[in-house]
A and B are shown apart, each in its own frame.
Chain A
Amino acid sequence: MTAQTSLVNDLRSIVGSEHVRRPEEPPAAAPAFIVDGLLPQAIVQPGTYDEVAEVMRYANEASLAVIPCGHGRMPDPGNVPRHYDIALSVARLNQIIEYEPADLTMTCQAGATLGDLHAQLSEAGQMTPFGLADNGACIGALLARNRSHNLQYGSPRDYTIGMRVITAEGLITRAGRNVVKNVAGYDLCKLYVGSLGTLGVIVEASIKLVPLPQARQRVDLEFGKVSDASTFAKEAHGRGLSLSAINLRRHTRKDAETAAIKGAHVLEMEMSGGTVAVQRTHREILQMSATYGAQEFYAPDPPDDPGQAPSPGVDGPLQLEASVLPSFVPDLIDRFQRESLDNWVWWSSPVEGRVDARWNGLGADGEMVRRLRAHAADLGGTLIVTNCSLDLKRRIDVFGDPPPAFDLMRRIKEQFDPKGTLSPGRFVGRL
């Protein structure tokens, strides 16, 4: 019996044989369970918290590396793992545990997708603050990455009020409660959100909900200069207009077919809220645009780009997320473009100070990443690589140099996962 057979058999005895498979077994092609070119020995889908705990105890004792995941469709950013034995999918843990509309909160299991949740919440006129950008994404994966930011509601860290997390050694633990205000003990939810599966397996979360907006609308404007678009965005936001997202990007080739200003930039403004507030926002944006000399932009049909920042991928072109002070966004974009204008596709939130970018050219290497990172650092920010060729990924730290508080982070990892069972090597400083 090979070691893999023995591992698979052991896991089957914990969760039942139909919930463990080898990656090569059908349904084949589960490419997302591949992490940076590495295949796990087994993909396991526990159906209860006790089973998750049992799998973790087993793996921890046997010194096997576990990478928690959702439905296997959203690769995390992160460094190449040191080991990878078990993909622990929370896909079967997909129930809503508690939902009382009058509380405007909800507790669900980590494998519940935004689509699952939306179906139930919308009946009561509510929604999660994650928005609906990615209906198939599950709560556990979204929280582990702290992705999805909304100008009106903030980030997952801001609206996660409770969690159930299973530790490396298999303790089933709870943080926070299903109440919107709570200061009992350390706020461990903050620690787990964004920890990329390196401290525990998220199996349940309580989330603050928001009312479904009465109205939603989008207006796109064309600007010649990044700096004008950026100033415009900040002014609109500063007026308190009902904006849920403001996204700035360069024209794509297809855009140019309908563009009024050649070689320009598109500022996408998503409005969301009460009907009158959205009407007023729309009106005011159009009035403002006249004073800025901006043109309303009508995307070609069909648009060749969804207008959204790319998700992290695997073994593809260089993609990155930079975070700088909002006032430095135009400067950062300018510095990126000096690397060769034509090869960049970028998306930016000028209000939040975020720039996501993809390099479509050839020859992205460690030196280029170092240079780009130095630009972000020079502007007081940071830059992480969310995708690149495997070859390059093996040679860089996607998070850059360890942050000033790295010693504390290392000690936290040692306390929570002394044997390095959970996603070893993937996090900041290869924790």
Chain B
Amino acid sequence: MAARPGRLVKDLQAAIGRKWVLHAREDLLVYEYDATIDRGLPDAVVLPVSADEVARAVRIARRHNAPVTARGAGTGLSGGAIPCEGGVVIVTTRMNRIIEVDPDNRLAVVEPGVINLDISKAVAPYGLYYAPDPSSQKACTIGGNVAENAGGPHCLRYGTTTNHVLGLEIVTADGDIVWLGGKTMATPGYDLTGIVVGSEGTLAIVTKVIVRLLHKPECTITLLAIFDSVDRASETVSAIIAAGVLPAALEMMDKNTMTAVEPFINAGYPPDAGAVLLIEVEGLEEEARDQANEVEGICDTLGARETRIGLTLEERDKLWAGRKGALGALGRLAPSYYILDGVVPRSRLTSVLSGVYEACGRHGFRVANVFHAGDGNLHPNVMFDERVPGATQQVLELGEEIMRLCVDAGGSITGEHGVGYEKRNYMRWIFSEDDLEVMSRLKRAFRSEDGFNPGKIFPTSKGCGEVSSRMKAAFAKVGPDAYV
């Protein structure tokens, strides 16, 4: 268990400098939460500036038997950055240099604290961009994206973080600095980069990332189609995919979301509409126009009452405004909301969504669905009032029920937010003991079992309170600064 913080803090201060080691309770409180409901207070927070300092901090923590949890901007939605069992939080925000941009070879080498959107800004002069675009991309760091294998609306066509990372410099639980993968397409050996991406900080701490960059498409067209019902919109999603059109993004918002958004965005959503689809196609101009025509035709056939088309950046931004402002607007409808993340095969969207509405109705909660429909990645946002006794517990039960619906439809318990702390006991719904045993072999191979982010991903028979007295689950009001 965690040793006396006094000694731990002194050793860290000696190695990293007093200024960059926090240990006063009021300083630590800032690092006990992320964008989820869980909390956990660290014993010390370190803000290193280099891989070497990270390695030193890891070795010191190991000597003191203190677990280490890496943290970027703290925008995660599965508690990945929360130190469940206390110990040392390593914050990567000072490691925020873009070390190299190589436009000729379409790659960049960046430190983990670099903000996602800043990569695209830095490479824009070369006509390049970094494709994964989690909705928090103005705030979230690339290190956190790597840990969670972050997604975003445009993953439909371009894939998630794992498809855009070529190599990683990591610090192992032994405190060694090791390169995985590299700048070239192929490197001999097991694909350890692919393993560390999405490992939620449990295998290694990432200290440099080699990202792949894409050429900006010549033409992007955004369509917004308004439907009478969620069912019709869901059928349209399947029809678009089945027709052989692979849009760059294919997002859905339901009636509750539109109702919340309309007063703030003035998007002109009809008050009686059931759902909107936001569809983006891109590529060569001819190709994008062809696809836009085809998508418009499919929407018409399936009963869209109106389809708006955005060609210029200004027009497109206007169509996206409702989607981008959705969560902020939802925050004004109820004191709290609980963001869920599940994924189903696309053809099961209609039936699972109706199950979601049914379950929410039965529990007496309003729900707003705003999500990546093209990927089958659902984000029901359940609105509730945490001050009502028992409401929190009931919302958690509802969340579990909705995850069940996804799994029963052949889906998964998380599409892009991660397992973290909250969903680890759902892991047995989709994986056998043998599957989990095989996964845990990686933890043993990386020698990170208790050292890095303990309490995450793997199921436990222990309840929340038993894992650590430090870990007090408490609902926080999630406001406009939350993203999905």
List the A side residues contacting B191 at CB < 8 Å.
146, 157, 190-191, 193-194
Interface centre among B190, B417, B446, by most chain A C-beta atoms within 10 angstroms, is: B190
Q: Mark B416-458, 1 if CB is under 8 A from A, else 0.
A: 1111000100010011101111110110111100000000010
Residues of chain B from 209 to 236 with CB closer than 8 A to chain A in the complex: 215, 217-218
Residues of chain A from 400 to 431 with CB closer than 8 A to chain B in the complex: 400, 402-409, 411-412, 414-416, 427-429
Residues of chain A from 371 to 421 with CB closer than 8 A to chain B in the complex: 380-382, 384, 399-400, 402-409, 411-412, 414-416
Complex formed: what's the CA distance from A178 to B346 in Å?
A: 10
Let me know if B290 is at the binding interface, CB within 8 A.
yes
User: Contact between A126 and B244 (Cβ–Cβ < 8 Å)?
Assistant: yes
User: Contact between A404 and B178 (Cβ–Cβ < 8 Å)?
Assistant: yes
Let me know if A256 is at the binding interface, CB within 8 A.
no
List the B side residues contacting A182 at CB < 8 Å.
343, 412, 414-415
The answer to whether residues A174 and B148 also contact, given A179-B343, A242-B284, A280-B284 and a CB cut-off of 8 A, is no
Let me know if A321 is at the binding interface, CB within 8 A.
yes
Let me know if B245 is at the binding interface, CB within 8 A.
yes
User: Contact between A181 and B186 (Cβ–Cβ < 8 Å)?
Assistant: no
CB of B195 to closest CB in A, whole Å? 6
Binds A, one of B157-165, B298-306, B394-402: B157-165
User: Contact between A185 and B245 (Cβ–Cβ < 8 Å)?
Assistant: no
Complex formed: what's the CA distance from A402 to B438 in Å?
A: 24
Binds B, one of A233-241, A260-268, A287-295: A233-241
Let me know if A227 is at the binding interface, CB within 8 A.
no
Let me know if B184 is at the binding interface, CB within 8 A.
yes
Residues of chain A from 299 to 342 with CB closer than 8 A to chain B in the complex: 321, 323-327
Residues of chain B from 166 to 210 with CB closer than 8 A to chain A in the complex: 172, 178-180, 182-195, 197-199, 203
List the A side residues contacting B159 at CB < 8 Å.
154, 158
Give B417's nearest chain A residue, CB to CB: A183
CB of B106 to closest CB in A, whole Å? 8
Complex formed: what's the CA distance from A281 to B283 in Å?
A: 12
Complex formed: what's the CA distance from A380 to B107 in Å?
A: 14
The answer to whether residues A173 and B432 also contact, given A183-B416, A187-B162, A187-B194 and a CB cut-off of 8 A, is yes
User: Contact between A181 and B432 (Cβ–Cβ < 8 Å)?
Assistant: no
Binds B, one of A7-15, A28-36, A40-48, A99-107: A99-107
Let me know if A276 is at the binding interface, CB within 8 A.
yes
Residues of chain B from 287 to 330 with CB closer than 8 A to chain A in the complex: 287, 290-291
User: Contact between A405 and B414 (Cβ–Cβ < 8 Å)?
Assistant: no
User: Contact between B189 and A179 (Cβ–Cβ < 8 Å)?
Assistant: no
User: Contact between A179 and B345 (Cβ–Cβ < 8 Å)?
Assistant: yes
Residues of chain B from 86 to 110 with CB closer than 8 A to chain A in the complex: 102, 104-106
Complex formed: what's the CA distance from A158 to B286 in Å?
A: 27
The answer to whether residues A185 and B431 also contact, given A277-B283, A325-B105, A326-B105 and a CB cut-off of 8 A, is yes
List the A side residues contacting B267 at CB < 8 Å.
none
Let me know if A38 is at the binding interface, CB within 8 A.
no
The answer to whether residues A240 and B414 also contact, given A191-B191, A380-B184 and a CB cut-off of 8 A, is no
Complex formed: what's the CA distance from A405 to B191 in Å?
A: 10
User: Contact between B347 and A103 (Cβ–Cβ < 8 Å)?
Assistant: yes
User: Contact between B284 and A183 (Cβ–Cβ < 8 Å)?
Assistant: no
Give B411's nearest chain A residue, CB to CB: A179
Give A165's nearest chain B residue, CB to CB: B438
Let me know if A352 is at the binding interface, CB within 8 A.
yes
Complex formed: what's the CA distance from A295 to B134 in Å?
A: 45
Given A155, A158, A171, which contacts B437 in the complex, CB threshold below 8 Å?
Answer: A171
User: Contact between B439 and A274 (Cβ–Cβ < 8 Å)?
Assistant: no
User: Contact between A190 and B438 (Cβ–Cβ < 8 Å)?
Assistant: no
CB of A338 to closest CB in B, whole Å? 22
List the A side residues contacting B190 at CB < 8 Å.
191, 194-195, 199, 409, 412, 428
Complex formed: what's the CA distance from A399 to B185 in Å?
A: 15
Given A126, A179, A240, A273, which contacts B215 in the complex, CB threshold below 8 Å?
Answer: A240
List the B side residues contacting A380 at CB < 8 Å.
182-184
User: Contact between A382 and B151 (Cβ–Cβ < 8 Å)?
Assistant: no
Let me know if A177 is at the binding interface, CB within 8 A.
yes
Binds A, one of B16-24, B50-58, B369-377, B380-388: B369-377
User: Contact between B375 and A399 (Cβ–Cβ < 8 Å)?
Assistant: no
User: Contact between B287 and A242 (Cβ–Cβ < 8 Å)?
Assistant: yes
Let me know if A184 is at the binding interface, CB within 8 A.
yes
Give B439's nearest chain A residue, CB to CB: A186
Complex formed: what's the CA distance from A211 to B347 in Å?
A: 16
Complex formed: what's the CA distance from A61 to B239 in Å?
A: 51
List the B side residues contacting A414 at CB < 8 Å.
445
Let me know if B242 is at the binding interface, CB within 8 A.
yes
Give B434's nearest chain A residue, CB to CB: A171
User: Contact between A174 and B284 (Cβ–Cβ < 8 Å)?
Assistant: no
User: Contact between B180 and A405 (Cβ–Cβ < 8 Å)?
Assistant: yes
User: Contact between A104 and B241 (Cβ–Cβ < 8 Å)?
Assistant: yes
User: Contact between A188 and B439 (Cβ–Cβ < 8 Å)?
Assistant: yes
The answer to whether residues A186 and B198 also contact, given A242-B287, A412-B442 and a CB cut-off of 8 A, is yes
User: Contact between B346 and A104 (Cβ–Cβ < 8 Å)?
Assistant: yes
List the B side residues contacting A186 at CB < 8 Å.
195, 198-199, 203, 439, 442, 457
User: Contact between A403 and B187 (Cβ–Cβ < 8 Å)?
Assistant: yes
Let me know if A361 is at the binding interface, CB within 8 A.
no
Let me know if B238 is at the binding interface, CB within 8 A.
yes
Complex formed: what's the CA distance from A405 to B185 in Å?
A: 17
Complex formed: what's the CA distance from A303 to B104 in Å?
A: 34
Let me know if B36 is at the binding interface, CB within 8 A.
no
List the A side residues contacting B427 at CB < 8 Å.
184-185
User: Contact between A181 and B375 (Cβ–Cβ < 8 Å)?
Assistant: yes
List the B side residues contacting A171 at CB < 8 Å.
434, 437-438
Let me know if A108 is at the binding interface, CB within 8 A.
no
User: Contact between A181 and B372 (Cβ–Cβ < 8 Å)?
Assistant: yes
User: Contact between B163 and A181 (Cβ–Cβ < 8 Å)?
Assistant: no
Let me know if B252 is at the binding interface, CB within 8 A.
no
List the A side residues contacting B377 at CB < 8 Å.
181
Let me know if B344 is at the binding interface, CB within 8 A.
yes
Given A105, A238, A276, A411, which contacts B445 in the complex, CB threshold below 8 Å?
Answer: A411
List the B side residues contacting A74 at CB < 8 Å.
none
User: Contact between B192 and A405 (Cβ–Cβ < 8 Å)?
Assistant: yes
Query: B residues engaging A (CB < 8 A)?
Result: 102, 104-106, 127, 148-149, 151, 155-156, 159-160, 162-163, 172, 178-180, 182-195, 197-199, 203, 215, 217-218, 238-239, 241-242, 244-246, 283-284, 286-287, 290-291, 343-347, 372, 375-377, 410-419, 423, 427, 430-432, 434-439, 441-442, 444-447, 457
Q: What are 7 A-B interface contacts by the 8 Å CB criterion?
A: A104-B346, A185-B427, A185-B439, A186-B442, A188-B442, A242-B283, A273-B287
Q: A158-B159, A174-B431, A185-B439 are in contact. List 15 more A-B contacts (CB 8 A).
A: A100-B347, A104-B246, A171-B434, A173-B438, A179-B410, A183-B198, A234-B104, A274-B291, A323-B187, A325-B102, A384-B188, A405-B192, A407-B178, A414-B445, A416-B438
